[in-house]
Structure 1
Amino acid sequence: MRTYGGATAEQRVSLRRRRLLDSGLELFSSRGYAHTSISAVLRHAGLKDRYFAESFSSLDDLMAALMREIYEEEIARCTEAISTDQPLRDRARNMIDVVVVLPLEDPRKGRVKLTESLGAGPLTARERRLGLQRMSGLVDALLRERLLDPRIDTATMSVAVVGAVSEMLLSWSSGVLDVSRADLVDQGLLLFEAITEHTPATSQG
């Protein structure tokens, strides 16, 4: 296999793709998606024009790839958080805390996921839907462990929980909600428990 500078052709393509992803994350989070161009990404990555098309079809495609990575990390860590022998309440709290802490660990990813991705195109929108569906699947599995009201459809409620926590996180990160991280996690947990601990009203005889 021929190499150049100690790297194969496939390795060089992979390295260039990584540089484009890293530059996209930096520029989307600092300038905003609407104010970032393919040329700007290439300049930031230190790559020539022809190298963008070897990895991405458009700026939307680049954003979609970033969203895929962000959700992969989030889902992996959430899965780890709930795959323990702890009580249901603790596992639910741990999952919510993961969702809250990730944007704090890397605010660039937080801005890309929560705000800038909303202004991208259909490829990014698809990745958002897939990511939210997978997150809802994790919540659904937790809800099914202790469902007291047979009228509750866990698939529907899991979507509601994920959507609500996402909106809470967006409002918190933008400064609309003036609460601590612990308080935000507690409020998300209360929402989860409102479903798992809800019991049907007894019929009046």
Structure 2
Amino acid sequence: MRTYGGATAEQRAALRRRRLMESGLELFSSRGYAHTSIRAVLRHAGLKDRYFAESFSSADDLMAALVRDIYEEQVARCAEAIGSDLPLRDRARNMIEVIVGLPLQDPRKGRVKLTESLAAGPLTAHERRLGMRHMSGLVDSLLKEGLHDPRIDTAPLSVAVVGAVGEMLTSWFNGVLDLSREELVDQGLLVFEALTEHVAATSGK
């Protein structure tokens, strides 16, 4: 296998892809998706024009890759948070803590996921749907523990919880909701508990 500078062609291509993704994350979050050109990403990454098509078909494709990575990180950490032997309420709270905490750890990822990805195209929209589906699956596993009536379809309920918490997080991240981080987590947990308690109470009627 031929190498150049100690790296194979595949390794160099992977490195260029990572540089483009890092530049995309930086520029999409600071300038906005609508105001970031492919050429600007290339300049920021220090790469020649021909290297963009090596990894991505469009700016939307680049944004989709970023959103996929962000959701994969979030899903993995949420799965770890709910995989313990703690009581259901504590695990639900830990999951919400992860969801709230990740955008704060890297505000660039928060801006891309919560705001700028909405301005991108169908490839990004597809990754957002997949990410939401994975998150809903995790919430669904928690709801099934709290709701024991087999007649209850927890799938749409899990979508409702993820959607509600996501909207609260977006409004908080963008400065619309004047809450502390702790208060936001409390409100997210309240949504989860209010839904499970209401459905459990009404299903027996």
Q: TM-score range by the shorter chain?
A: over 0.9
* Contact 2:82–2:95 (CA under 8 A) maintained in structure 1: yes
Relative distance call for 1:145 and 1:4 in structure 2 (3 A) is same
How far apart in 2 are the matches of 1:192 and 1:169?
Answer: 14
Q: What is residue 86 of structure 2 aligned with on the other side?
A: 86
Distance in 1 of aligned mates of 2:194 and 2:25 = 37
Counterpart code for 1:116: E
Three-state SS of the structure 1 residue aligned to 2:50 is helix
Distance 1:169 1:149 in 2: 30
- Count, aligned residues: 203
CA RMSD of aligned residues (A): 1.2
- In the TM superposition, residue 152 of structure 1 has moved relative to its aligned partner by 4.0
Give the 5 Å matches for 1:17-28. 17-28=17-28
Matches of 1:181 and 1:152, distance apart in 2: 32
Pair 1:43-2:43 in alignment: yes
How many angstroms apart in 2 are the aligned matches of 1:40 and 1:99?
A: 31
Amino acid at match of 2:21: L
Contact 1:33 1:116 in 2 (8 A): yes
TM-score (norm. length: structure 2): 0.96
1:200 to partner: Cα distance: 1.7
User: Structure 2 CA distance, aligned partners of 1:118 and 1:202?
Assistant: 40
Q: Percent identity?
A: 79
Runs of 4+ in 1 over 3 A off after TM superposition: 148-152
Query: Structure 1: where are the runs of 5+ without partners?
Result: none
Partner of 1:31: 31
Structure 1 counterpart of 2:109:
109
Give the letter for the 1:195 counterpart. L
Which residue in the other structure is 1:8 paired with?
8
1-structure distance, mates of 2:204, 2:42: 64
C-alpha separation in 1, matches of 2:74 and 2:129: 14
Mind listing any 5+ residue stretches in structure 2 that lack a counterpart?
A: none
Q: TM-score, normalised by structure 1?
A: 0.96
Q: Give 1 or 2: higher helix fraction.
A: 2
Counterpart of 1:146 in structure 2 is 146
